[in-house]
Amino acid sequence: MTNKRGKGPKGEKNKSRANELKSSASKRYSKGKRLDKDKFLKRGRKGEPQPKPDKEKKEGVRLNKYLANAGICSRREADTLIEAGAVEINGEVVTKLGTRVKPTDDVKCGGSKVNREKPVYVLLNKPKDFITTVSDPQGRKTVMDIVGKACKERIYPVGRLDRNTTGVLLFTNDGDLAKKLTHPKHQVRKIYHVTTDQPMSNNDLVQLCKGVKLEDGTVQADKAAFVEGKEDRREIGVELHSGKNRVIRRMFEALEYKVVKLDRVSFAGLTKKNIPRGHYRFLNEKEVSFLRML
């Protein structure tokens, strides 16, 4: 007979089986093999399976996530909007955090209807003479003139590049990820190819990494080096994580150099490889997963 504590023949059998599984798992991960992160992320605490998609349809998604997925804002900002009474569900103001939204619900934020959209990620190799904004009252060319018709979802630029700066610029309707990539605490790395009006001295190159004093604080480049194959010392590669406005141009100006050409070649590990100037492409799942892990 087997009592409730699992003793007896059956209990011994279960215990033996448990030890076998434990030993198998130990061998599996003691040989230096990497854990399958995708499979691991699909399971919750203590290995419990996460809710199935059908459950989301029945119970809905949290309101802050719904707003973030629609590209309105980040989840944290959505919580503020909810508490302020700026969000309505089916005509009723909702102020309770944790409220869930079902597919059939009518959601409004600030009086405007919110349509839930699938997350979209577009990478542009920005050309010169386009400003980074959704619209311009002066009628100047904007980056949306290039990517505005890339998808039916409403996407927005993550950060910005000056009008005369070219290179990598990411667009998305994923408010959480956009917030993460632009927040200083995450120290997202950017790499720039800088061309100056005159040769740069070795001392000034070193000074970029030591720190350059600007009106809003001292900024240090993480790395700085002359571009290989260029003998005139006017082309410099600079890597930094600061998100200050016009930071590269201001750093060089502080050292008495004028930037005549500025190209961002990398942002958060994303590069413009195989993307001609003025063209764009969609990120793949692997790239999106990488950004979320930063």
Is 20 inside a domain boundary? no
Task: Return the SS3 of 196.
Answer: strand
Residues 159 and 285 in one domain: yes
For 101, the token pair is 């939204």
Among residues 196, 205, 192, 199, the alpha carbon closest in space to that of 162 is found at 192
CATH of the domain at 99: 3.10.290.10
Question: What is the identity of the amino acid at 110?
Answer: G
pLDDT (tens digit, 9 = 90+) per residue, 72-105?
888 899 999 999 999 999 999 999 999 999 888 9
The Cα–Cα gap between 83 and 67 comes to 14
Residues 249 and 195 in one domain: yes
Is 42 inside a domain boundary? no
CATH of the domain at 129: 3.30.70.580
Q: Is residue 11 predicted with pLDDT exceeding 60?
A: no
The mean pLDDT of the chain is 84
Among residues 220, 93, 118, the alpha carbon closest in space to that of 173 is found at 118
Residues 232 and 253 in one domain: yes
Among residues 237, 293, 236, 291, the alpha carbon closest in space to that of 267 is found at 291
Residues 145 and 277 in one domain: yes
- Of 114, 144, 166, which closes a domain? 114
Residue 68: its pLDDT value, please?
85
Residues 125 and 93 in one domain: no
- Tell me how crowded residue 247 is: count the other CB atoms within 10 A of its CB: 19
Residues 248 and 203 in one domain: yes
Q: Is residue 62 predicted with pLDDT exceeding 70?
A: yes
Q: Which domain holds residue 207?
A: 189-267
Q: Which one of the listed residues 79, 129, 136, 162 is annotated catalytic? A: 162
Q: Which helix (H) or strand (E) holds 236?
A: strand 235-240
Residues 250 and 138 in one domain: no
Q: Write down the H helix ranges in the chain.
A: 9-30, 37-41, 53-59, 63-69, 75-83, 144-147, 175-182, 202-210, 247-254, 285-293
Residues 88 and 198 in one domain: no
pLDDT (tens digit, 9 = 90+) per residue, 16-34?
544 554 444 444 333 333 4
How many domains would you assign to the chain?
3
Residues 212 and 237 in one domain: yes
162 as an active site residue: the answer is yes
Q: Are 192 and 248 in contact (CB under 8 A)?
A: yes
Alpha carbon 253 to chain centroid, angstroms? 30
User: Which residues pair with residue 270 across a beta bridge?
Assistant: 267
pLDDT (tens digit, 9 = 90+) per residue, 128-155?
999 999 999 999 999 999 999 999 888 9
